[in-house]
């Protein structure tokens, strides 16, 4: 193959730190720009190789941009920080201008993204809503006291509301209790002090993630709860993890949640080996 042919078949890679304006903070994601519709097995293998909490895979299908996300162990239906990363990567590659809205088609439907300023991204994520869930003995056992509320969700995330004075930072993401229920991951949330309205941590044993540093899909899930509780149209959320970060969230009339967050482009590279391809139909999802 000539150099040009290798470049056309290659996979463009970028690394981004999402929901932070500080390099090496927030949530790290890798983004792969594909020359064709890669197979799920190949994408899973690359995500396992890259070892980020999520890797975003982009493919331009005629006029439509397709987007999928993989953790090191599985494909997920929604990921906020890697979508922010994909937006920054497209801009870095000269494929998206500041102020140019774009729909990224995913398993969760079309997601509107826009780079509103250098390093600042707006993304519209679905919020499937909180579903009442009965309590369980393991919750009080791992927390040391009963939660104030507990919910599940269509995303497979469980949610626990903790008292304002609860030491959120003391929770152990490696505790076996987080794998007790049918949920794949847990959001532990409580009210926060200014400039933030609430804070949360995210443990994802069923996703192969010990602790996700800053989780856009989790904030999109719980932001309506905090807007209603606080009587605010927009709330600021913080994630006090080992790589902290935050965002603003605004429920829209469409039922989507608009997340505003910063990001940092770290590096860009080219993998000269082409992906294993699948049929294009495996990338064209029908969303109910």
| pLDDT tens digits, one per residue of 84-114 | 999 999 999 999 999 999 999 999 999 999 9
Query: Which residue is listed with tokens 């396992």?
Result: 48
- For residue range 210-232, list pLDDT tens digits in order: 999 999 999 999 999 999 999 99
For the chain, give the number of residues.
Answer: 288
Mean pLDDT along residues 40-58: 97
Q: Which of 212, 210, 209, 152 is nearest to 182 (CA)?
A: 152
Helices (H), the chain: 3-9, 40-50, 80-92, 137-143, 216-230
* Angle at the Cα of 54 from the Cα atoms of 52 and 58, rounded to 5 degrees: 120
One of 5, 49, 54, 183 is an active-site residue; which one?
54
Q: Is the dihedral of CA 163, 165, 169, 173 positive or negative?
A: negative
Q: Residue 1: its pLDDT value, please?
A: 44
Strand 11-18 versus strand 198-204 pairing type: unpaired
Contact by Cβ (8 Å): 239, 249: no
Mean pLDDT along residues 242-249: 97
Helix (H) or strand (E) holding 210: strand 209-212
Domains of the chain (ranges, CATH numbers): 3-124+263-277 (3.10.310.10), 131-260 (3.10.310.10)
pTM exceeds 0.85 for this model: yes
Mean pLDDT along residues 74-89: 98
Q: Is 180 part of the annotated catalytic residue set?
A: no
Q: Give percent of the chain with pLDDT exceeding 90.
A: 95
Contact by Cβ (8 Å): 146, 159: no
Contact by Cβ (8 Å): 51, 68: no
- For residue range 270-286, list pLDDT tens digits in order: 999 999 999 999 999 87
Contact by Cβ (8 Å): 147, 164: no
Q: Residue 8: its pLDDT value, please?
A: 63
């Amino acid at each position: 193959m000539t150099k040009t042919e290798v470049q056309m078949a290659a996979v463009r890679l970028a690394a981004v730190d999402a929901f932070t304006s500080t390099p090496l903070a927030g949530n790290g994601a890798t983004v792969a720009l594909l020359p064709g519709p890669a197979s799920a097995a190949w994408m899973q293998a690359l995500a396992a190789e890259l070892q980020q909490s999520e890797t975003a895979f982009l493919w331009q299908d005629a006029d439509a941009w397709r987007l999928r996300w993989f953790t090191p162990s599985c494909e997920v239906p929604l990921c906020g920080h890697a979508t922010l990363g994909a937006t920054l990567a497209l801009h870095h590659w000269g494929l998206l201008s500041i102020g140019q809205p774009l729909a990224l088609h995913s398993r969760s439907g079309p997601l509107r993204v826009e780079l509103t300023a250098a390093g600042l991204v707006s993304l519209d994520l679905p919020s499937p809503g909180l579903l009442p869930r009965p309590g369980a003995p393991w919750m009080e056992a791992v927390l040391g006291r009963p939660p104030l509320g507990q919910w599940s969700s269509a995303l497979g995330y469980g949610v626990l509301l903790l008292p304002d004075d609860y030491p959120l930072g003391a929770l152990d993401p490696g505790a076996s209790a987080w794998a007790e229920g049918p949920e794949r991951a847990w959001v532990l949330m409580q009210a926060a002090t200014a400039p933030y309205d609430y804070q949360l941590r995210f443990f994802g044993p069923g996703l192969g993630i010990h602790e996700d540093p800053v989780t856009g899909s989790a904030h999109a899930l719980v932001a309506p709860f905090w807007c209603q509780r606080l009587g605010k149209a927009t709330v600021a959320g913080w994630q006090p993890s080992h790589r902290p970060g935050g965002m603003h969230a605004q429920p829209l009339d469409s039922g989507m949640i608009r997340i505003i967050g910063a990001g940092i482009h770290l590096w860009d590279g080219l993998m000269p080996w082409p992906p294993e391809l699948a049929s294009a139909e495996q990338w064209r999802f029908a969303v109910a």
